[in-house]
Amino acid sequence: MKKILFISVRDPFSERYSGDVIRSKKFVQYLSKKNNVEIACLDSTNKVTTSKRLTIRTFKRDNPLKCVMNIITSLIKLKPLHFSFFHSAEIKEFINDNYQNFDVIFCQSIRSFQFLSDKIYKKIILDMGDLYSKNYYQTAKELSFLNPLKVIYYFESIFVKKFENYCLKTADITLLFSKREIGLLKDFKKNKIVQINFGIDKIKNLYKHNKNNYKIIFIGNIKYTPNRQACLHFIKNVFPKLKSKFSNIEFHVFGEVRDIDKDFFLRAEGVKFYGKVKNLEPYLSKVICGLANLNISTGIQTKLLTYMSYGIPSVSSKKVLENFDKISSHKMIFYKSNSDLINLIIKFKENKFFSNQYSKRSLSEIKKFKWEKVLKIFDKIV
């Protein structure tokens, strides 16, 4: 039985519908079956809760004034600026004072790696997931020259790349979603980098084709720039053309969203936002397809796994599908242009054979992503 320190910027048991939270909760639950696990994470209050083999310690983030000072310091030292929003001097002090009491340190994302000092000599496992630097670089390319965030994302991609390299050299084992992204890391020892998928719990075939189906669904945190950009592009450039052909068609979005964005998006007729929904099943009748139209995409898009787990036909951008190593390229479908996307959605709506074919493929391919298979690989790593 090992003593494991699990560090995360979010509480794995917060029930937040976010890929990193879902994944970290699964890992913690699995680890605590055979080991004593202590979680150090950020929250709104400082508290400690303990159960059989699990202790959760939450620490408050730095106050706004300190956050601003952290950003200035990061800029001077050429370190990732956004880490300042996930920083806590208290959690860093706790880790540095207590790390020697643990056999293994597990960091969920590079944001939590910032709490480790250079002098920690323990086995360190980092769940990097995907390459943030690549994501930020793609975001900078997609944003307009008139958008001041374009410059910030560009320089952030450089700062994050530098920190990723430090993490890859320091951690004993680094976990990544995609073999394709591992292939980009040519300057690092491949035996220290392990590909491990995101997982899915249940598979249910809830899809039924009907020419009267009218919902296109999108799942994701709209506070996250790539998701926001994808929804905005679809609502402005694609949805009106579908609406002119099918007057009753609707675009349903599930996930956290800022009020200002919600008000802006809802000006478009037929667009509905549901916020964070714990149980999607009641909303999945009369669905035409799921949408994963991101032009900024690294790692694995969990929205696509969710669609597949319900047997819902989905249409993705090429960038989304590129990182899914386990999905056969001919089994799933991607679009090449806005007109191509429109034609595919129309085909999903009107062609029963076509829709059912991709529904069956989804149910077949998703079996490769069952958590039980993912956790077997994870067990060998730990």
Q: Which domains does the chain have, with CATH numbers?
A: 3-196 (3.40.50.2000), 215-369 (3.40.50.2000)
- CB neighbours of residue 14 within 10 Å: 15
pLDDT tens digits for range 181-197: 888 887 787 789 988 88
**160 close to 136: Cβ distance less than 8 angstroms:** yes
pLDDT at 246: 94
Residue 344 CA to residue 234 CA, distance in Å, equals 14
pLDDT at 338: 94
**pTM, whole model, 2 decimals?**
0.86
| Beta-strand runs (E) in the chain | 3-8, 36-43, 47-50, 54-60, 104-108, 123-129, 173-176, 193-195, 215-219, 250-254, 271-273, 287-292, 314-317, 334-335
Tell me if residue 380 falls in helix, strand or coil.
helix
- CB neighbours of residue 191 within 10 Å: 7
The DSSP 8-state label assigned to residue 200 in this structure reads B
pLDDT at 344: 95
pLDDT at 331: 67
Residue 311 CA to residue 284 CA, distance in Å, equals 11
- CB neighbours of residue 246 within 10 Å: 16
pLDDT at 326: 57
Residue 12 CA to residue 15 CA, distance in Å, equals 7
Tens of pLDDT, residue by residue, the chain (382 residues): 889 999 999 999 887 767 788 899 999 999 999 899 999 999 988 999 998 899 999 999 999 999 999 899 998 999 999 999 999 999 999 999 999 999 999 999 999 999 998 878 789 999 998 888 988 998 898 888 888 889 999 999 999 999 999 999 999 999 998 888 888 887 787 789 988 888 888 899 999 999 999 999 999 888 888 899 899 999 999 999 999 999 999 999 998 888 888 888 778 889 999 888 888 999 999 999 999 998 877 767 889 999 999 999 999 998 888 777 656 555 678 889 999 999 999 999 999 999 999 999 999 889 888 998 888 888 888 7
pLDDT at 185: 85
pLDDT tens digits for range 103-118: 999 999 999 999 998 8
Q: What is the pairing mode between strands 123-129 and 173-176?
A: parallel
Q: In what order do the strands lie in the sheet with 36-43?
A: 47-50, 54-60, 36-43, 3-8, 104-108, 123-129, 173-176, 193-195
* Residue 146: partners with Cβ closer than 8 Å, 6 or more residues away: none
